[in-house]
């Protein structure tokens, strides 16, 4: 029944004032918890929303207690973190939407150590004066990759932009049409080159580019040859492109640098884990690349970072460019990255870095975990079975390459509703829907999250 005009005016007059609400026990509790200024804003918002509801014919509860409760909900929504941990049961190891690489315990410890207080970020302890932040990971990177020098910035897009701006601004850069890629978030190589001030010279075709195509366009205004790794796509069939070694020989014959956006940051041989071959940073430098850029949070398994390695004179030129300051890495990134690199030096990367632990897990090991989960769920009257499936590396690395795995498949009358409720769990559980079942891949679930995963499944799958 529609609320009459008289009833609307009566409800509006009955609304308590802000002072009255502040004087209640609930109001005083809100002020103590959230502060007076924010509580006032929240009360005004709650009263405004309540007036709007009344004016639109609704009859909300307008007691001080009800209004204080609504105010508390508004305040809790405003102040609750929006960036929270989730359980990744999708089987995508480097899941860009879920934060890419989980960090090792050593990296977390290193980040916490420098974040909790002061650190020698730009202080030379031996000299007792100003130092440089560029030194903290450079020696490790040089030792690992064979590069003469290295620089860390905040992500690989920044690394590519900085490299092109510092080395090629106002001049021409040659690149194959088959490498004019777009990656996640609309990041396009041609757009980055334009932003850098370098002029793009396209050669070859989408599927076939020859060494002679590069050589034909080299001129007085050529600054470099650029190669962009096919990190998130494949061109198959009638294809060809020169090797890095061939391009390096051509570039150096014309006194040009060969620049390589490798992207994925592989330092280990991926074929040893049943994956397709991914070019390693070491091999790219050995092939003659002068500067190689890559990500810290993909196959490297560390924090978000963009890394440049290569010839010392070129890296020095890049370091001196004003843009280097705008995209520099902070102390937490540098500490986490250094802690991630050390296990590569000691041969412990597969054991200590989560990304490589997940990649190296065998199907048999995963099957044993999946069977345990399935039994636990079945014991709680949740229809679950173990089925064959595949995991993917993700994160713009090794496109089309999969790893055999075992999935826990849950049948439910409304699988979309179940998946939605699991996303509201604490912590949220992210799986995937396949053949009208919710499937969960143990490969990407961290050991410390297993109990929360099973408890969340039992709670939500049994509730409806």
On whether the CB atoms of residues 174 and 251 are closer than 8 A, the answer is no
Strands 429-430 and 87-88: parallel
Distances (CA, A) of 435 to 5, 361, 409, 410, 439: 54, 25, 10, 11, 9
Evaluate if residue 3 carries a pLDDT over 90. Answer: no
pLDDT, position 302: 97
State whether residue 11 is helix, strand or coil: helix
Tokens standing for residue 387: 């089925």
CA distance 317 to 96: 32
State whether residue 55 is helix, strand or coil: helix
Distances (CA, A) of 51 to 1, 4, 78, 104, 151: 19, 15, 21, 52, 58
CA dihedral 33, 37, 43, 49 (to 10 degrees): -120
Angle in degrees, 0-180, between the axes of helices 156-168 and 312-320, rounded to the nearest 10: 100
CA distance 259 to 404: 35
Between 429 and 396, where is the model more confident? 429
Strands 222-228 and 199-203: unpaired
Burial class (CB in 10 A: 0-12, 13-18, 19+), 177: middle
How many CA atoms lie within 13 Å of 34's alpha carbon, on the beta-carbon side? 24
Kindly state the average pLDDT of the residues 73-86.
Answer: 96
Kindly state the average pLDDT of the residues 436-446.
Answer: 97
Distances (CA, A) of 347 to 298, 351, 353: 19, 9, 11
Evaluate if residue 44 carries a pLDDT over 90. Answer: yes
pLDDT, position 204: 86
Burial class (CB in 10 A: 0-12, 13-18, 19+), 98: middle
CB neighbour list of residue 114: distance below 8 Å, 6 or more residues apart? 121, 331, 332, 335
In CATH, what class is 105-352? alpha beta
On whether the CB atoms of residues 30 and 75 are closer than 8 A, the answer is yes
Nearest to 91 by CA among 420, 439, 417, 447: 439
**If you count them, how many residues does the chain have?**
464
pLDDT in tens, 13-35: 989 999 999 999 999 999 999 99
Token pair 């799958």 in the structure block, residue: 461
High-pLDDT (> 70) share of the chain, %: 94
On whether the CB atoms of residues 463 and 391 are closer than 8 A, the answer is no
Residue 427: is the preceding peptide bond cis (ω within 30°)? yes
pLDDT in tens, 347-382: 999 999 999 999 999 999 999 999 999 999 999 999
pLDDT, position 403: 94
pLDDT, position 401: 82
CA distance 327 to 159: 8
Nearest to 456 by CA among 410, 400, 395, 401: 410
Following DSSP, what letter does each residue of 390-454 receive, concatenated? EEEEETTEEEEEEEEEEEEEE--TTHHHHHHHHHTSSS-EE-EEETTEEEE-GGGS-GGGHHHHH
On whether the CB atoms of residues 264 and 299 are closer than 8 A, the answer is yes
pLDDT in tens, 125-178: 999 999 999 999 999 999 999 999 999 999 999 999 999 999 999 999 999 988
pLDDT, position 452: 97
Tell me which range, 11-25, 266-280, 297-311, is most confidently predicted by mean pLDDT: 297-311
According to CATH, the topology of domain 87-94+356-461 is 3.90.1150
């Amino acid at each position: 029944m529609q609320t009459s005009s008289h009833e609307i005016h009566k409800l509006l007059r009955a609304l308590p004032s802000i002072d009255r609400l502040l004087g209640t026990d609930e109001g005083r509790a809100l002020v103590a918890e959230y502060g007076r200024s924010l509580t006032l804003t929240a009360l005004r918002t709650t009263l405004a929303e309540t007036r709007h509801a009344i004016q639109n014919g609704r009859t909300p509860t307008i007691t001080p207690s009800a209004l204080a409760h609504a105010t508390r909900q508004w305040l809790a929504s405003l102040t609750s973190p929006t960036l929270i941990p989730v359980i990744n049961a999708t089987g995508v190891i480097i899941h860009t939407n879920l934060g890419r690489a989980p960090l090792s315990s050593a990296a977390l410890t290193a980040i916490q150590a420098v974040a909790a207080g002061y650190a020698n970020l730009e202080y030379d302890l031996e000299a007792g004066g100003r130092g440089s932040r560029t030194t903290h990971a450079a020696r490790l990177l040089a030792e690992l990759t064979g590069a003469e020098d290295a620089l860390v910035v905040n992500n690989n897009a920044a690394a590519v932009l900085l490299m092109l701006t510092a080395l090629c601004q106002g001049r021409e850069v040659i690149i194959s049409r088959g490498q004019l890629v777009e990656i996640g978030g609309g990041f396009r190589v041609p757009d980055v080159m334009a932003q850098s001030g370098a002029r793009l010279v396209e050669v070859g075709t989408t599927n076939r580019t020859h060494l002679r195509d590069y050589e034909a366009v080299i001129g007085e205004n050529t600054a470099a040859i650029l190669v962009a790794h096919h990190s998130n796509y494949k061109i198959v069939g009638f294809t060809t492109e020169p090797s890095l070694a061939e391009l390096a020989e051509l570039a150096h014959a014309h006194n040009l640098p060969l620049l390589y956006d490798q992207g994925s940051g592989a330092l280990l041989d991926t074929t040893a884990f049943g994956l397709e071959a991914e070019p390693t940073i070491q091999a790219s430098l050995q092939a003659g690349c002068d500067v190689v850029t890559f990500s810290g949070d993909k196959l490297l398994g560390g924090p978000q970072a963009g890394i440049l390695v290569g010839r010392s004179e070129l890296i020095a030129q890049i370091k001196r460019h004003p843009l280097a300051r705008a995209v520099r890495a902070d102390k937490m990134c540098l500490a986490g990255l250094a802690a991630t690199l050390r296990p590569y030096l000691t041969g412990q990367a597969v054991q200590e870095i989560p990304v490589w632990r997940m990649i190296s897990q065998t199907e048999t090991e995963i099957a044993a975990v999946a069977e345990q989960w399935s039994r636990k769920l079945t014991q709680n009257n949740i229809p679950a079975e173990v089925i064959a499936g595949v995991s993917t590396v993700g994160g713009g690395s090794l496109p089309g390459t999969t790893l055999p795995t075992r999935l826990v498949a849950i049948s439910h009358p409304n699988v979309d509703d179940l998946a939605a409720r699991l996303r509201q769990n604490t912590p949220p559980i992210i799986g995937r829907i396949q053949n009208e079942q919710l499937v969960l891949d143990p490969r990407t679930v961290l050991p410390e999250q297993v109990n929360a995963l099973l408890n969340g499944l039992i709670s939500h799958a049994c509730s409806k």
